[in-house]
Amino acid sequence: MPTIARRSFTQSLALGGALLAGAKAEAKPTPTPLLARRLSAGDTLGLVSPANATYEREPLQLAVEALQALGFKVKLGQHVRGRYGQFGGSDAERAADINAMFADEGVAGIIALTGGSGCNRIVDKLDYGLIRRQPKFFGGFSDLTCLVNAIHQQTGLVTFHCPVAGSEWNEFSVAHFKAMVMQTGELPLLRNPQGERGDNLVQTQDRIQTLRGGKARGRLLGGNLAVLSSLAGSRFWHDWRGAVLFLEDINEYIYRIDRMLSTLRLAGALDQLAGVVLGKFTKCEPGDGYGTLTLDEVFDDYFLPLNVPVYRGAMIGHIKRKFTLPVGAPVEIDADVGSIGLLAPAVR
């Protein structure tokens, strides 16, 4: 390499390193909390498809009927039936539907039809100034991890990691959704079902495991690990200082879980946390043909050195019965009993 080119290359590396160091040192301040209005029966929910397309007519119809059964009127996004490859329309169309729902004063909240992939492609196309001016309920999970975290990080709006409209709306999920975003009164306490033994001597399903006991308070942030880690280094990355992190995933080999947790660690997120809640890691198994660490070992490696409360097994993730969690709200976790308690309402 010629001397001038080598010098230029070396200077570029140094500048890049300085920028990265500066970015880590100058974390974006925690946004001022912004709450959506509490949802009520009779409100209109906007139904959008910011991730995967829905290829048949029936899943959309079932989603509409489920939201109606919850007591809502439903307004379909202009492109909710769209398709571009695997996505529910082009990037511009999917982002436009979300922006239009925030702009529509007759729409009380917005919920995703399904997850999948594609939200990262539109996260920089949302009108965050509009969202800040007209805050309203926004919810979904899985690939929606990208948008629920970015909207909170950019605007301060508490968003919701909750069932998508096309989810299985069973009694458990409905009760937790209503308690979090519709009902008034006592603040919700999220804790796995207790004593469900079935034909067994002891409870075998939905147990919690305490990795490190204790209580911790902080702003609740997180979601799907694969999607969350893909935001590292972007302008949509959180200030993690004092946060309570929650994570879940599905269909990832254990070595990929390890790699993604390493991304969180290297991005400076883990060493700033107040506590950790691990949900369900569904079908996250060893890859074919390789020796592997177990999930127990991976979680121990990354979370025990933090010396903060950590528990595993919360009803979060790609499972039938799931919590609704307020992203950005202040919570207290108890890792000994496995609970997440709100410290303030997540809606006004």
Active site (catalytic) residues? 142, 248, 318
**Are 52 and 87 within 8 A, CB to CB?**
yes
317: left (phi over 0), alpha (psi -120 to 50) or beta: left
Distances (CA, A) of 3 to 11, 12, 14, 16, 128: 12, 14, 16, 20, 46
CA-based nearest residue to 254, from 227, 229, 224, 291? 291
CB 175 within 8 A of CB 197: no
d(CA 130, CA 128): 5
The dihedral through the CA atoms of 114, 118, 124, 126 has a sign that is negative
Catalogue the long-range contacts made by 59-68 (C-beta closer than 8 Å, 24 or more residues apart).
Answer: 59/113, 59/114, 59/166, 60/113, 60/166, 62/166, 63/113, 63/164, 63/165, 63/166, 64/165, 66/165, 66/166, 66/167, 66/169, 67/111, 67/165
Residue 50, sorted as left (phi over 0), alpha (psi -120 to 50) or beta, turns out to be alpha
The single-letter DSSP state of residue 108 is -
Tokens of 233: 């280094």
Q: What are phi and psi of 219, to 5 degrees?
A: -80, 130
Secondary structure (3-state) at 192: coil
For 307, other C-beta atoms within 10 Å of its C-beta total 9
